[in-house]
């Protein structure tokens, strides 16, 4: 955070888990860039991918609603495309679920963009971003490796 402060980025305290903690900041904002760390949610859910994905999805949608209510003019939502059902990867699924919800909703005056990794980028992206050595617990790590294997075989 100090790195950003030195570059004159205004640092504010808030949590995606609680829209009341950041909604007052939104009144002065034109554009919101919305991303969150899936792995943080996985940590909080003790390695339960389903629970992590659901929490991730709900918090992001709550943020979108707060932005719309506050009159934010533009949103940028970071997503990943989903895999077919037989290649279910929770990290991708949680992001894609939010993307589909946003695509399907009716918007007031807010402009929005979804930035998503394309299909042909997946393998390179994920094999680079999912190293075999992590700071995760032994119960979580095999699941991540399993997801990586599924991606590699696609």
Does residue number 118 form part of the binding site for other proteins (CB under 8 A)? no
Q: Which stretch binds other proteins (CB under 8 A): 44-52, 81-89, 105-113, 131-139?
A: 131-139
Q: Determine if 117 is a binding residue for other proteins (CB under 8 A).
A: no
Min dist. Cβ of residue 99 to other proteins (A): 15
Whole-number minimum distance, CB 107 to other proteins, in Å?
Answer: 18
**Shortest distance (Å) from residue 142 CB to other proteins:** 14
> What are the residues whose beta carbons fall under 8 Å from the beta carbon of 115, sequence distance 6 or more?
76, 77, 78, 79
Contact call for residues 54 and 95 (beta carbons, < 8 A): no
Written as one string, the DSSP assignment of 95-119 is HHHHHHHHHHS--SS-EEEEEEE-G
Question: Binding residues for other proteins, per CB under 8 A?
Answer: 1-4, 7-17, 22, 25-26, 28-40, 43, 63, 78, 129-131, 134-136, 144
């Amino acid at each position: 955070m100090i790195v950003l402060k030195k570059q004159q980025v205004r640092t504010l305290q808030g949590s995606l888990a609680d829209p009341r903690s950041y909604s007052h900041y939104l009144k002065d904002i034109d554009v919101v860039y919305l991303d969150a760390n899936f792995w943080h949610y996985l940590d909080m859910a003790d390695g339960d991918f389903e629970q992590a994905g659901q929490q991730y999805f709900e918090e992001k949608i709550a943020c979108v609603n707060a932005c719309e209510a506050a009159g934010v003019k533009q949103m940028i939502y970071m997503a990943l495309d989903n895999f077919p059902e037989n290649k279910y990867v929770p990290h991708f699924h949680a992001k894609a679920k939010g993307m589909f919800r946003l695509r399907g909703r009716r918007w007031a005056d807010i402009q929005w963009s979804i930035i998503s990794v394309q299909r042909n980028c997946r393998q390179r992206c994920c094999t680079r971003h999912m190293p075999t050595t992590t700071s995760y617990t032994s119960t979580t790590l095999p699941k991540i490796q399993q997801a990586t294997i599924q991606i590699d075989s696609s």
